[in-house]
A = this chain, B = another copy of it.
């Protein structure tokens, strides 16, 4: 009885934070199946060395041998490079990890904005289909176009995911009313820009709405609201406490989650889970952070929380909760914090402090 986890550190601080996942899983001892870690390759560095950003072998191993995976972070070239394409975007698509679940929560008791929401980001389409084309116009100047794709199928399954999550959070709130700032019924906010994109965002909006309508028996308790994406960014900063679950097309979800991360103090705190029907991959929301690479000061918390998300998805909810409690208590104590949070600790010291609480 083992838990086979594909480990894809990729670039930059991705390599420095991913060991936190391994150490956390190992620290759980016999309360979970024995973890086995399979190192896998991907990334911009790899591309520069080998001409491939995402080897076939990585995908094959994930599909055939792994129970789940953890991803670090990718760097991006500073100029367009022929043949290079983001391996994380490709991984999400190849593994059909259609939901990117991003919980963003301030630690109860800490200063700052009150936020405890989940962003459910569609993870396979929108502008991320990467169908682009450059042409030269008669006057010799260039014109580029990109396709933005929204399908009923993808919108429907991401909508359902959001409603299910809202129900689950609602139940958690009943047990523990202080679990989030929003005190009302389960709430899902659809993010869109259908005042401009009436066909694509119109389809997203109508489809998510109809998931609820077609299953009112199950979803009747859910409050369904909407925010235009620009207004959403405004509201997020003005009154973050009113949000519960939000569901968004790919790019809006990407943008909103960085905004929400700013409110909790650091991108280094925000985890994500790329989830499909048969596979899931944890991934810190932060990037490869070339500016702090190699100093051993990257915040491991986003990775540790992503590990908890993966564990919970694999059915080990109690262990996931233990991890999150350990993280919160280290944050509340404030003795071991990396520089992004105003502290002086190294990555390893923060991991040590968290594991001690487990």
Contacts and interface: CB of A to CB of B under 8 A. Distances in A.
A149 B141 contact: no
B132 A199 contact: yes
B237 A255 contact: no
Contact of A203 (B130, B144, B233): B144
Given A145-B148, A229-B255, A198 B132 contact: yes
A195 to B, nearest CB: 4
Given A196-B130, A234-B267, A255-B229, A145 B149 contact: yes
Contacts of A89: 196
Nearest to A134: B199
Contact of A199 (B128, B144, B196, B262): B144
Best-buried of A80, A139, A228, A256 by chain B (most CB within 10 Å): A80
A127 interface: yes
Nearest to A130: B196
Given A80-B206, A144-B149, A144-B199, A287 B231 contact: yes
A233 B262 contact: yes
A49 interface: no
A257 interface: yes
Best-buried of A127, A133, A230, A261 by chain B (most CB within 10 Å): A230
Chain copies in complex? 2
Given A143-B151, A147-B145, A149-B143, A127 B197 contact: yes
Best-buried of A85, A147, A234, A251 by chain B (most CB within 10 Å): A234
Contacts of A147: 145-148
Contacts of A149: 143-145
Interface in A227-252: 228-231, 233-234, 236-238, 251
A120 B133 CA distance: 25
Contacts of A257: 230
Given A89-B196, A144-B151, A234 B206 contact: no
Interface string A294-322: 00000000000000000000000000000
A127 B141 contact: no
Contacts of A144: 149-151, 199-200, 202-203
25 contacts: A76-B195, A76-B228, A79-B206, A80-B198, A127-B196, A132-B199, A133-B199, A141-B151, A141-B156, A143-B151, A144-B150, A144-B202, A145-B148, A145-B150, A148-B148, A229-B255, A230-B254, A233-B255, A233-B256, A234-B259, A234-B262, A236-B262, A237-B237, A237-B259, A238-B262
Please list the 10 inter-chain residue pairs (A to B) with the smallest Cβ-Cβ separation, ordered nearest first.
Answer: A132-B199, A237-B262, A76-B195, A230-B258, A141-B152, A234-B258, A146-B148, A142-B152, A144-B203, A144-B200
Given A133-B199, A237-B259, 19 more contacts: A80-B194, A80-B198, A85-B198, A127-B193, A130-B197, A139-B153, A141-B151, A144-B151, A144-B199, A146-B147, A146-B197, A233-B233, A233-B258, A233-B262, A234-B258, A234-B259, A236-B262, A237-B263, A238-B262
